[in-house]
Structure 1
């Protein structure tokens, strides 16, 4: 059972060190053990503050679906400061730029979140995503054609560098309207922001991204085109509601970063998983129609997102037998939920033919509830194209190193490879 004080509140000492590199390198074992022993556990956030983490499927979905858990701490009665913004300021972020990271659609609650999502959804429709598929396939094929020339002296190609990242960042930049010559900048900015390895680089990346987007918007107002920036500028509700200038800049930044980082790591993680599970790879090669189910299973089994953003309890709430006090932050561990044997039979087994008795998405790789990933359809499509085209183009593809020598980045909350060396084995 989870330790607690006599009044039911959490103790000062954490049950688990969320920053432990071992949890990043093998999150399935560590969080799996926690799920069975302490499903509602105490830990510390990046800034050292106390935080709860949840690891069971039902608890995770309950939090993500419960409006009493707020994404914005200022939604909690009695809290008037944004702890996320405060942490960014302590990391050296200029106060004028903090809001572009701390006030995105990912961090707002209804009614603001509802308004933003409604405005953006009109420009980010399923029809628009479906129309992209031929272009996604064209981009993927072009990148795959260049892989032989990318081989190093040891004969291996880094799939992360030359395919997993270029595919989604090209797609989202074309969709949004980022000029081709500027896309390498976004690759660097995204890496500096997501890796969180240097406060200075995070700060510089944010400032440069914001100013770059500001320039793009100004150019589009002078010479409109037919991309997502134009659609976001033009979108307006019947009552006249529209995105403010700050919301517009924040939305573009969020869409580009979220629109390539997660998908790139899904492609990398999924490729490594399939190459180390030849029976599953053979199934996919034998039946391309399995691709949609394969993407869902890979998101469940080795998805790149290990944990959600923190949520704050807006009132005292009992969860999993533990009292969560008003104002306390909770983080839902996707990695625990997606391997929970209470929901997934034989959860540690990769099975791209896995079926369920109930309809709908069973894993929580794309989130759940009102904050379900806006770009999930695009990510799924890119994953389907990436996996099918990669293994069709290079049927003898294999890892360029032993599976246990793959380098996983020790990044809390995210599962990503530093490199994925592959041998193409053409003409053999």
Structure 2
């Protein structure tokens, strides 16, 4: 195996890599297309795949599976299970974050995805647009009132409330419960041992309560649909799968979109030429969302996959059962696929529907809510630039505070001045 200058495995918690994954993973990509990496708390190193074509192979090839139990003829280590155990999560709750639609393969994945996919079709998302626009306008109406000394936090005041309101309405989470979900989501990204236990147990209890309420009073929402699938045919959806599906949809449905809006707004405000282009032509919004997902997307790497058989990447052999992580950020900055990849250019994509980047993934596990996330991003960026023509950062760009998490890119807050 050739590692072309990399000494030892990559530490996924390296402060330099966490603070600048764009340059960090690009350096790794150019030194070696595939290399070893380690997570604190995991007994087994993983392979990092960093180049665009190789990343698409890992994401779209049947030779890679999400569940190590589906690797034939070997007892592959479940790295995510080890990491969850290292964070002190009891086994009775770990199953709710380890056995979701995101972790399933083959027929199980298809079965679970079909139960909710109708809610995220292009047609259904298009029907939601007027409601997304109304929520957006209402939030922006309130934003000036949240400012202190002329400064508002766009993350708390806009980027989070928009997607969590949309996904909670779609799933069927009552309005009075939504602030609690925001707090739970914040707690779940903590790396402190034991920090997940209380929020996870409370979420599970809350979801069970929601199901009981919906059984008594059905609605036009995903909760009701899941209850119907479970009660009519328990083989289609188990009790644990039902709870896990709600947990996954609500958290995945607002966390990543919130940080797409936050990261994207910060990028536009630090690239005045791109901001001016979007203001001059709001129809560029679909292409802008694609480029912002490529240039500063919130998800930097995928969940760990496992080789179901021996697979060669150039001179490197990944053996059956070995864990592999596809690095989206290095693929999206790969000069073999993108001209001048470090440059932010909201006209880069030839049209708003054609997707070249891998910010939403690729293959069977392509993001279920991608169409909804794109739409929320389009509406958010168009409304922000229209409503607040004087919008600007309230701190120097280098002072923006980020949550330094592996495989993630997110702002802790985004202080802005709305104008004037």
Q: TM-score range by the shorter chain?
A: over 0.9
1:96 CA displacement: 1.5
Q: Where in structure 2 are the equivalents of 1:129-278 lying within 5 Å?
A: 129-153=125-149, 155-193=150-188, 195-235=189-229, 242-278=236-272
Distance verdict in 2 for CA 1:324–1:237, change over 3 Å: farther
Residues 53, 332 of structure 1: 8 Å contact kept: yes
Q: Distance in 2 between matches of 1:321 and 1:360?
A: 33
Residues 154, 413 of structure 2: 8 Å contact kept: yes
Per the alignment, residue 316 of structure 1 pairs with 310
SS in structure 2 opposite 1:105?
coil
Q: Where in structure 2 are the equivalents of 1:362-377 lying within 5 Å?
A: 362-377=356-371
Identify unmatched segments of 5+ residues in structure 2.
none
Residues 10, 37 of structure 2: 8 Å contact kept: yes
Does the alignment pair 1:58 with 2:53? yes
Residues 409, 418 of structure 1: 8 Å contact kept: yes
Does the alignment pair 1:425 with 2:410? no
Q: Where in structure 2 are the equivalents of 1:29-68 lying within 5 Å?
A: 29-48=23-42, 49-68=44-63
Q: Deviations over 1:396-415 (max 9, x none)?
A: 10110111111122111000
* Structure 1 runs of 4+ with >6 Å offset: 236-240
Residues 402, 410 of structure 2: 8 Å contact kept: yes
Q: Deviations over 1:186-237 (max 9, x none)?
A: 00111111x2332322111111111101110111111101111112223489
Q: Distance in 1 between matches of 2:260 and 2:152?
A: 18
Residues 52, 329 of structure 1: 8 Å contact kept: yes
Aligned residues: 417
Residues 87, 195 of structure 2: 8 Å contact kept: no
1:128 CA displacement: 2.5
Per the alignment, residue 26 of structure 1 pairs with 20
Q: Deviations over 1:298-353 (max 9, x none)?
A: 00011001000011111111113211111111111000000111001111111111
Distance verdict in 2 for CA 1:104–1:282, change over 3 Å: same
Residues 119, 236 of structure 1: 8 Å contact kept: no
Q: Distance in 2 between matches of 1:299 and 1:242?
A: 34
Residues 266, 304 of structure 1: 8 Å contact kept: yes
Does the alignment pair 1:349 with 2:343? yes
RMSD of equivalent CA atoms: 2.2
Distance verdict in 2 for CA 1:2–1:19, change over 3 Å: farther
SS in structure 1 opposite 2:196?
helix
Per the alignment, residue 332 of structure 1 pairs with 326
Residues 123, 235 of structure 1: 8 Å contact kept: no
Q: Distance in 2 between matches of 1:128 and 1:19?
A: 40
Q: Distance in 1 between matches of 2:353 and 2:122?
A: 20
1:124 CA displacement: 3.6
1:14 CA displacement: 3.2
Distance verdict in 2 for CA 1:283–1:357, change over 3 Å: closer
Residues 260, 298 of structure 2: 8 Å contact kept: yes
Q: Where in structure 2 are the equivalents of 1:278-293 lying within 5 Å?
A: 278-293=272-287
Per the alignment, residue 102 of structure 1 pairs with 98
- TM-score, scaled relative to structure 1: 0.93
Per the alignment, residue 7 of structure 1 pairs with none
Identify unmatched segments of 5+ residues in structure 1.
5-10
SS in structure 2 opposite 1:200?
coil
Per the alignment, residue 383 of structure 2 pairs with 389
Does the alignment pair 1:127 with 2:120? no
Q: Distance in 1 between matches of 2:214 and 2:156?
A: 31
Q: Distance in 2 between matches of 1:348 and 1:303?
A: 13
Per the alignment, residue 112 of structure 2 pairs with 116
1:88 CA displacement: 2.1
- TM-score, scaled relative to structure 2: 0.94
Per the alignment, residue 3 of structure 1 pairs with 3
